[in-house]
């Protein structure tokens, strides 16, 4: 990344090209209509400005929907700096529009510093992550994280500062080496010699982090268990209005969308294999059945397996259906779910895609190493992998989507705005809680109180024409709840 | 109840008519095939006899499925006494078969003492409940409860014994009076003068209770909160393999079954209103849609309301759809959900039924008090209530199922065996835990550990042809679980 | 059948027991509410009396719904005589109520002569069929037939009269012998010596027949092709509002109803095999899927097979799924679909039922002949057939419903009233057409004009809350139809 | 259109840019895998060359799928010339690949003359249509038509030649004037002075036309009724494997695909209005429900309305749901279904699209004329129409897809290959029938014999893993069919 990206407007780091801002603004305006939760929060808190004084460092896919989130945080009084949490996921026009701001112009941008563009290198990515934490003057008061990269950088910086050691430049073969890890260390190799307390100061200023996804939450629980967590955390991922909506209904929308845009292949009448029947798998299976496919599910958890069977799906193992399925979709969040031993034996022209989370659910590295395998780009993010004939098996090919990464992001546009409005309303409320109600969240990993989860749901009902029934006082007492909620015990599963 | 029921075989309280035993035994044999969880537990524990020495007082609908449960407990070594938890729900042939036992004869019964028959009076009902707790010699070591009546009787007895006061015979108008409450006090009015420490001794001997349903669990949590809980409790109701199976998939089966047997009215093409979108409501709505009805849901909880909308249902208030719906089904577990102001304004010949839990979900008392309302029995458990013309509204009638009580029990045969095998496997495992692993369950209300919940699911997979996928060691480590489970965090919602 | 059934009221043949009439009347009143088509026809034609002077001989299951049909015909002016078309299908209370009539009493019956009761012998059955054709004075002007038995008797009578030969009493081994055929000939052996022109006269008086089902229609087309058809016929079966409603939506309702009442076995999560994907198969598969079963379909017709696949069902052959399916349902209208070679190899306790039409879809005769097979009655119409161990195959049993006959009639109550209202409205309109508009239907087999089919549909919309859109004159012209319909070309498939 | 398009290779009319051919060839290869019907026909007829000597003038969307159709016709021996039947629907890379041919190169094209590119003017369009009919030497022996434009041009040419009159250049206001009609006349104004018998000769050489769609078929039936049909016609549209697959399952795939690509708006939880419940409407409603929308249907035909209700949809009129629905989709094939009076009163940001057929289903002309309405392009084929505030109604906007034309073609890629393989297999078989079996199709409009329809289905079963059941000889006789089919009477509705 060259200075040009940082210095266009002095003191203000910028996306590369502000000329896209008008297009982005138009899309943001349409998205606002589909994000009633965020717009309702703006209306509710416009006067109170609960985030006045807050400085929020955000690391989350820089999309049109995120733009509505960012501008909601700003509307509630916060200062914000933003990076994406994925090198490919930035929508440049959204980034530009946010940087310009609703009332600025490309010539006189008045928006939020955005450190993100589509197609960053790993080096650029981690430099961007660093930038959102380097506030002019004081550091951030909160992190809004997706996957935990911003939180990781702070924790790693504090560790090395505590050890007083500039990290070494690792090479392949060194213990702990991975390319990306060494890039992260590179950020610290630059910062520690300059300021040996920078990350310690930043960590001390942070009142908490709100985390968006399973992966990031998993890291946070590990830090907490190990006693290494530096600031409190709110687990947004496990709000009902996140996990049961984003994961299930978002996937129901974006899985067939991604398959269609990638392949134009008929789904109806075909056999679709779905690995995993958690929330993502449930949404995936429902959407494929809704298109007329016959869905076969695999599971490692007997409870989820039983649910799949009771929902009318065949439950089998991947190795049993290789010659039968036309689509193979992973939703597990585990690694090595589809392996080369599977891919080389699939039906000719089978479509293989991942909508779980990790890009190692499909063994892409192994695939590249299959002797004789040849990769042909059909179009960006859609590749045909051809395997040579082998004994009695004729040559055949499979179609791999998004190089094994999340196909709904790579081949379509991710979750639609309405779904993200649920997730992001949780984020906004979590940020308010961390800033205004810190006492309720001692050091540790917390979920939002159920009544706030219910509030997020409530904000989305009008847009769907839902008319809620009101409990009478007598009825509320009868079941032992407050008329205003929360209505269910903590362990309720929805 | 006269002595004849208690004394047929000295020392052994009996169902009324053992001649039904052969029919019941045949049904039990067929049910065993549909209860693979219980049969697997028999096979697994036949040698170890983990319940040897246990004395289990069971209060749960005395059906064919319960017979398989009882005989499983016996096969694991327990002594058992049984009553129903509902005056109407006993299947007499099942009761007779259990009393006779698999190897006994009506002339030489060798089974379990069963204090239950179809159509008990309230007085008989509570006397039966008392009998299961009055073990010859020592008292029970555990209670297996459904709705909490056995537990209630013990707690009430202890309270009065502690107070040293024989309860008064209440009359309408007295504080706290209800007919049933006074009947319960009647049991104590008889026992206290005879033995002022009976219930205290019984309570001391009880190592714990496993409770089947929401209502009973609710009572237990209240007792625990008030510090009045006398022995530890396992909440079987909130095992995933209970709440997400019994409540959802059981209802999906038994709701249309009940409606069909009661009315023979076409469901397809009609409008069905379902009050509540919890697990029961979800199963109800799915089953009605599966028959081609257009389903309208009401909810008081915004999260469940949002789920209903996302599942494609209209969400409205009861008062908005009175003239539109052909079926009105309650699933809430709350009271006064359908009131007379609703019933008198429904579409002519609307079918009204309750599959929630409490018989006050539909205001049956109010219905009987509507001026001019006339009740006609169409067949047992199906009544037409006719309302006179009123102003511009012509005379009309509605069809009320099971007098407002659970229609799947009243108009059909309740949940099918396979569903109950899930619930009852949890019960058996809970009883083993209480008896063998008491240290793990200090005084309080507990759910079963997730790994046992997963075990219950696992026992039901083969029968459905499910082939489970096995985690590799590397995969298990990667997601931080054991290869053998449990696979999910406690807060996971399935 | 003894004289007592014929002579209770002189000149009037009666059902056996009129004391059931009150119960039947109550059910008829409720059914009228669910048969809006018939009630609308009564309202429309009350004044015009289009069937005044018509004499209708009806042969169709004597159920509550048929009672509403009969009384509609009477309300339109017809004289009617009725028999059932199946020895088991009569609902005695309905028969009694019709015989008594809406304004009569058991002591002073004023209804329609009904020659039907539940559980006729074959001899009684054909004598009843004969009776509906023997009008005092003149013979019938029309037949309303279901399966073609009344029509068959007339044709057979005419044939023998033309040949001038009294049929011989056949014995097993004689050419053409079957038990039932010989019973039919018995009717003619009695009538021909008495009156050698009776059937010829009756045939000459008949203006036409309206036929309800596939089987009967098939016979009519054969007669027409062979040039032997004696009077014109309207094929009611192939009205859209019959075949696409009765066959599909009726089955969707009554298949799970029949299974549930017969077995109480959970359908959800199980594997259900459905032979045939015609209209009946489509309704069957949808209903089982709607209960959460995984459905596997078999087909002989590649178009229907492709439809099944596109609707998301696995399409396989019966022999491939014997060990996998829990339910085996036939819907084909062909013979020998499930054979003993299949039944002896099914999963233990598999449920086997027929909802197609012919009682030979399942080879019941072969089943009885399987060496060592043992039949146990679980309850009426539900039998367990146990096969002895055979080599490596352990002993096992299957559950056969309704002895291989239509399970929705045998184990439940057949199609619900609303569905029959569609079919029967077609019947009423067909009878009016035959009587009032005979010129439009020259000798042959006709379907009702599409505009009358549309009329039947129209009569059922209000009850379902449907609001129809009105074509403008310009729109109608644009697509070349009349504003009032018919709206589709003859070959349109709906 | 300039000479450059016609003369690049002498004697061979060309698409504009052959450099796209490689990309097109790759897509064709993938499409061939999804078009098993066409590939099976190639295999079956490779040796026999049934179309040797045939000259086929094709007018049908020049897409990748059509490329597989064209090359199948060539593989069966035909000479082919091709134009698109829509000015926007050509996929240029497919056109280029066909022109180059599987064995040619852009420098040495050896394929089929293709007169089509994306974005033709109306003048270019009709000139292209003219070109496919102007064979060097003799004229075409058959037309393969979609919408009937090629057939129309021939008929119009013959009419004017018969009248011996060169058509006048019409202007707005002249009787019969429309812009497009005058463009067509322009073709004749050029040809008639040059050769007054050209179209007459062409018509005489044509042995028949096979027509793809409802619109074209409608025109053919009109010509036949008026006695003006010049050559026989096969109605491919009403093959079951066309109308019940293309219309229903194709739409089920391409409707949500088009909405998603156009708007990225969540469908789940929303209210979707579908005008029409024919085959297209059935597919549309199913797909939207499958995505979790609540679907409301409108109908003018009471039979289809009753079907919609029985399938669980609310049936209402458009004017009743304007404020409730989020999506408004037309599927009727009629005009003025959504009018300005509707559009100006819809919910803010409602999405409006047409997937029926005619671009006047939505009154786009009226929309443009709404006072104050403003059109903003969001992206190509997606426009926001903003209406000013009006009295108490605030300003609002709607999103109109594809300017009111078919949204699955305009916003997505039309039907997927597998669906088109069904339709196009019918086309190939129809062309063979017209060329080889002409005697069976006297002048008139015919459907393909059912046995050929079944053949098309049969060719697609293997690819879906369907195993067909074989009728035994006895079974076939029992139901009166041949073992090899056809299996159903002509009036069967599937």
Domain borders along chain C are 14-146+148-211, 249-411
Q: Report percent pLDDT > 70 for chain D.
A: 97
Where are the strands (E) in D349-411, listed by range? 350-354, 374-379, 382-387, 396-401
- Mean pLDDT over B50-69 rounds to 97
User: Nearest by CB to A26, which of D256, D378, D464?
Assistant: D378
D467 touches C315 (CB < 8 A): yes
pLDDT at B4 over 70: no
pLDDT in tens, D279-329: 999 999 999 999 999 999 999 999 999 999 999 999 999 999 999 999 999
Is D103 annotated for ligand binding? no
- Residue A193 pLDDT > 80: yes
Q: CB neighbours of D50 closer than 8 A, spacing ≥ 6?
A: D76, D77, D432, D435, D436
Average pLDDT, rounded, for chain A: 94
Asked if the domains at B14-146+148-211 and B249-411 fall in one CATH topology, the answer is: yes
Given an 8 Å threshold on Cβ–Cβ distance, is C416 in contact with B265?
A: yes
DSSP at D246:
I
* ipTM attached to this prediction: 0.95
Residues 215-234 of A with CB under 8 A from C: none
Structure tokens at C198: 């009776």
Binding residues of B for NAD(+), by number, are 213-215, 247, 276-283, 299, 334, 355-357, 408, 415
The position carrying tokens 């495992």 is B429
For C469, which of D300, D306, D480 is closest by C-beta distance?
D300
- How many Cβ atoms sit within 10 Å of the Cβ of residue C304? 26
CA distances from D60 to D126, D151, D156, D410, D421 (A): 13, 12, 19, 16, 14
* End-to-end Cα distance, chain D: 47
> In chain D, pLDDT over 90 holds for what percent of residues?
90
Is residue C246 marked as binding? Answer: yes
pLDDT at A4 over 50: no
The stretch B365-385 carries a mean pLDDT of 95
Please write the tens of the pLDDT for every residue from D408-446: 999 999 999 999 999 999 999 999 999 999 999 999 999
DSSP secondary-structure letter at C474?
A: H
Report, as an integer, the average pLDDT of A82-95.
Answer: 93
pLDDT at D158 over 70: yes
Q: Check whether B421 has a pLDDT greater than 60.
A: yes
Determine the distance in angstroms separating the CA of D263 from the nearest CA of chain A, rounded to an integer.
9
Q: Mean pLDDT check: name the lowest of A32-41, C7-16, C205-214.
A: C7-16
A266·D378 Cβ contact <8 A: no
Could you tell me if C449 and C300 are in contact, meaning their C-beta atoms sit under 8 angstroms apart?
A: no
CA separation for the pair A373, A384 (Å, rounded): 10
Contact list in B for residue C413 (CB cut-off 8 A) is 264
Contact C266 B289 (CB under 8 A): no
Strand partners of residue C274: C297, C329
Number of residues that make up chain B: 494
Q: For the segment C375-384, what is each residue's pLDDT rounded down to a tens digit?
A: 999 999 999 9
HEC profile of chain B: CCHHHHHCECCECCCCCHHHHHHHHHHHHHHHHCCHHHHHHHHHHCCCCCCCCCEEEEECCCCHHHHHHHHHHHHCCCEEEEECCCCCCCCHHHHHHHHHCCCCCCCCCCCCCEECCCCCCHHHHHHHHHHHHCCCCCCCCEEEECCCHHHHHHHHHHHHHHHCCCCCCCCCCCCCCCHHHHHHHHHHHHHHHHCCCHHHHHHHHCCEEEECCHHHHHHHHHHHHCCCCCCCEEECCCCHHHHCCHHHHHHHHHHHHHHHHHHCCCCCCCEEEEECCCHHHHHHHHHHHHCCCEEEEECCCHHHHHHHHHCCCEECCHHHCCCCCCEEEECCCCCCCECHHHHCCCCCCEEEEECCCCCCCECHHHHHCCCCCEEEEEECCEEEEEECCECCECCEEEEEEHHHCEHHHHCCCCCCHHHHHHHHHHHHHHHHHHHHCHHHCCCCEECCCHHHHHHHHHHCCHHHCCCCCCCCHHHHHHCCCCCCCCCCCCCCCC
| Residue D356 labelled as part of a binding site | yes
- Distance, CA of C241 to CA of C247 (rounded, Å): 10
Band of pLDDT at residue B88, cut at 50, 70 and 90:
confident
For residues D337-342, average pLDDT: 98
Range of weakest confidence among B164-173, D2-11, D137-146: D2-11
Give the pLDDT mean for D181-196: 96
pLDDT at A426: 98
Which positions in chain C touch B260 (Cβ < 8 Å)?
Answer: 253, 257, 260-261, 412
The arithmetic mean of pLDDT across residues B273-283, rounded, is 98
Angle C381-C387-C391 from CA coordinates, rounded to 5°: 165
CA nearest neighbour of B327 among B375, B270, B381? B270
Angle made by CA atoms A91, A93, A98, in degrees to the nearest 5: 100
Best to test chain B binding among A277, A300, A451, A474 (most B CBs inside 10 Å): A300
Report the percent of chain B where pLDDT is more than 70.
97
Chain A residues within an 8 Å CB radius of D261: 257, 260-261
CATH of domain D249-411: 3.40.50.720
Q: Which residues of C touch B268 (CB under 8 A)?
A: 249, 252-253
Return all residues near C97 (Cβ < 8 A) that are at least 6 apart. Answer: C20, C21, C22, C23, C24, C25, C27, C28, C67, C111
Mean pLDDT for the stretch of residues A28-43: 97
Residues of C with Cβ-Cβ distance to D477 under 8 angstroms: none
Question: Residue range B478-494: average pLDDT?
Answer: 95
User: How confident is the model at residue B391, as a pLDDT?
Assistant: 87
Beta bridge mates, D58? D82, D144
Nearest CA in chain D to B266: D310
**Chain B residues inside the 8 Å CB shell of D295:** 312
In the predicted model, what is the mean pLDDT of residues C312-335?
97
Give the max Cα distance, chain D: 75
Q: Pick the residue from chain A with its C-alpha nearest to C295.
A: A312
Q: How confident is the model at residue C400 (pLDDT cuts 50, 70, 90)?
A: very high
Size of interface A-D (CB pairs under 8 A): 106
Q: Convert the pLDDT of each residue in C81-128 to its tens digit.
A: 999 999 988 999 999 999 999 999 988 889 999 999 998 999 999 999
B307 touches chain A (CB under 8 A): yes
| Separation of CA B74 from chain center | 21
CB D249 to CB A33 under 8 A?
A: no
Contact B300 A245 (CB under 8 A): no
Q: In the predicted model, what is the mean pLDDT of residues A10-25?
A: 76
Distance from B171 to chain D by nearest Cα, in Å?
52
User: Rg (Cα) of chain B, in Å, rounded?
Assistant: 23
Structure tokens at C51: 């069937």
Q: Can you say whether the dihedral through the CA atoms of C236, C242, C246, C248 is positive or negative?
A: positive
Say whether pLDDT at D8 is over 80: no
C190 lies within 8 A of chain B by CB: no
> Is the bond into D61 cis (omega within 30 degrees of 0)?
no
Of D53, D46, D235, D233, nearest in space to D135 by CA: D53
Those chains having 3 or more beta-carbon pairs within 8 angstroms of chain C are A, B, D
Give the residue-averaged pLDDT of C247-272: 97
Chain B residues with CB-CB distance to C269 below 8 A: 249, 418, 464
Q: Which residue, among C466, C471, C486, would best test binding to D if mutated, counting the most D CBs under 10 Å from its CB?
A: C466
Q: Which residues contact C363 (CB under 8 A, 6 or more apart)?
A: C336, C338, C339, C340, C343
Predicted pLDDT at A14 = 65
pLDDT computed for residue D14 by the predictor: 65
**Under an 8 A CB cutoff, do C418 and B266 touch?**
yes
Please compute the mean of the pLDDT values over residues C142-153 and round it to a whole number. Answer: 97
pLDDT of residue B450: 97
Interchain contact D289–B (C-beta under 8 A): yes
A312 carries a ligand binding annotation: no
- Each residue's pLDDT tens digit, C272-281: 999 999 999 9
- pLDDT for res C14: 65
**Bridge partners, residue A353, by sequence:** A329
Query: Residue B142 pLDDT more than 80?
Result: yes
Query: C282: buried, middle or exposed (CB in 10 Å: 19+, 13-18, 0-12)?
Result: buried
From chain B, the residues in CB contact with D307 under 8 A are none
Lowest-confidence pick of B74-83, B217-226, C57-66, D4-13: D4-13
- CATH architecture of the domain D14-146+148-211 equals 3-Layer(aba) Sandwich (3.40)
The residues in B 234-253 lying below 8 A from A, measured between CB atoms, are 238, 240-241, 243-245, 249
Identify the pLDDT of residue B172: 94
- Residue to substitute from B290, B321, B409, B423, interface C, most C β-carbons within 10 A: B290
CA triple B386-B390-B392, angle to 5 deg: 125
Please compute the mean of the pLDDT values over residues A50-59 and round it to a whole number.
98
Q: Is C371 exposed, middle or buried (0-12, 13-18, 19+ CB in 10 A)?
A: exposed
Task: State the pLDDT at residue B15.
Answer: 79
Residue that wins the pLDDT comparison between B269 and B391 = B269
Q: Cβ contact (<8 Å) for C269 and A310? A: yes
Residues B382 and B402: their CA atoms lie apart, in Å, by: 6
C42 touching chain D per CB within 8 A: no
CA angle A469, A474, A477 (to 5 degrees): 100
User: Which chains border D (3 or more CB–CB pairs < 8 Å)?
Assistant: A, B, C
Regarding beta strands A271-275 and C382-387, do their DSSP bridges make them parallel or antiparallel, or are they unpaired? unpaired
Residue A225 C-alpha, separation from nearest chain B C-alpha, in angstroms: 13
pLDDT tens-digit readout, B424-463: 999 999 999 999 999 999 999 999 999 999 999 999 999 9
Q: Which chains touch B (3 or more CB pairs under 8 A)?
A: A, C, D
A293: contact with C, CB 8 A cutoff? yes
CA-to-CA distance for A144 and B67, rounded, in angstroms? 56
Judging contacts by C-beta atoms under 8 Å, the chain B residues touching residue A457 are 302-303, 305-306
Contact B249 C264 (CB under 8 A): no
**Cβ contact B432:B72 at 8 Å:** no
Q: A290 in contact with C at a CB cutoff of 8 Å?
A: no
Helix count and strand count (H, E) for chain D: 20, 15
Which residues of A are less than 8 Å from B306 in CB distance? 241, 245, 457, 460-461, 464, 466
Q: Percent of chain C scored above 90 by pLDDT? A: 91
Q: Which of A269, A293, A386 to mutate to test the interface with D (most CBs of D within 10 A)?
A: A269
């Amino acid at each position: 990344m060259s200075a040009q990206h940082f210095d266009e407007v002095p003191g203000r780091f910028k996306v590369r090209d502000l000329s896209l801002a008008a297009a982005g603004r138009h899309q943001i305006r349409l998205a606002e209509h589909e994000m009633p939760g965020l717009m309702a929060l703006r209306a509710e808190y416009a006067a109170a400005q609960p985030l006045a004084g807050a400085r929020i460092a955000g690391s989350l896919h820089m999309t049109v929907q995120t733009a509505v989130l960012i501008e909601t945080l700003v509307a509630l009084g916060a200062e914000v700096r933003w990076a994406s949490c994925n090198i490919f996921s930035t929508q440049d026009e959204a980034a530009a529009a946010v940087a310009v701001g609703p009332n600025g112009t490309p010539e006189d941008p008045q928006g939020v510093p955005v450190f993100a563009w589509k197609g960053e290198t790993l080096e650029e990515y981690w430099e961007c992550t660093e930038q959102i934490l380097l506030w002019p003057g004081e550091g951030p008061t909160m992190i809004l994280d997706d996957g935990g990269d911003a939180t990781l950088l702070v924790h790693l910086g504090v560790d090395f500062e505590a050890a007083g050691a500039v990290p070494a430049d690792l090479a392949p073969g060194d213990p702990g080496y991975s390319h990306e890890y060494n890039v992260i260390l590179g950020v610290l190799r630059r910062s520690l010699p300059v300021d040996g307390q920078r990350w310690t100061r930043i960590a001390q200023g942070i009142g908490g982090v709100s985390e968006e996804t399973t992966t990031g939450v998993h890291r946070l629980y590990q830090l907490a268990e190990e006693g290494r967590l530096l600031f409190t955390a709110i687990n947004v991922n496990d709000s009902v209005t996140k996990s049961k909506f984003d994961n299930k209904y978002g996937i129901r929308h974006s899985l067939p969308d991604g398959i269609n845009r990638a392949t134009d292949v008929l789904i109806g009448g075909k056999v679709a294999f779905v690995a995993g029947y958690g929330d993502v798998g449930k949404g995936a299976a429902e959407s494929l059945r809704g298109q007329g496919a016959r869905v076969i599910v695999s599971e490692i958890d007997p409870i989820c397996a039983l649910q799949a069977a009771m929902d009318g799906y065949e439950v089998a193992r991947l190795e049993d259906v290789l010659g039968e399925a036309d689509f193979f979709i992973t939703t597990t969040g585990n690694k090595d779910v589809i392996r080369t031993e599977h891919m080389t034996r699939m039906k000719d022209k089978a479509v293989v895609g991942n909508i779980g989370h990790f890009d190692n659910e499909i063994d892409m590295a192994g695939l590249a190493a299959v002797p004789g395998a040849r990769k042909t780009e059909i179009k960006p993010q859609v590749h045909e992998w051809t395997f040579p004939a082998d004994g009695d098996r004729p040559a055949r090919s499979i179609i791999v989507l998004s190089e094994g990464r999340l196909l709904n992001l790579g081949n379509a546009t991710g979750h639609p705005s309405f779904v993200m409005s649920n997730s992001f309303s949780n984020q906004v409320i979590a940020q308010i809680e961390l800033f205004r109600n810190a006492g309720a969240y001692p050091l540790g990993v917390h979920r939002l109180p159920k009544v706030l989860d219910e509030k997020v749901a409530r904000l989305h009902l009008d847009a769907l024409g839902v008319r809620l029934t009101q409990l009478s006082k007598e009825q509320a007492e009868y079941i032992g709840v407050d008329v205003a909620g929360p209505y269910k015990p903590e362990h309720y599963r929805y």
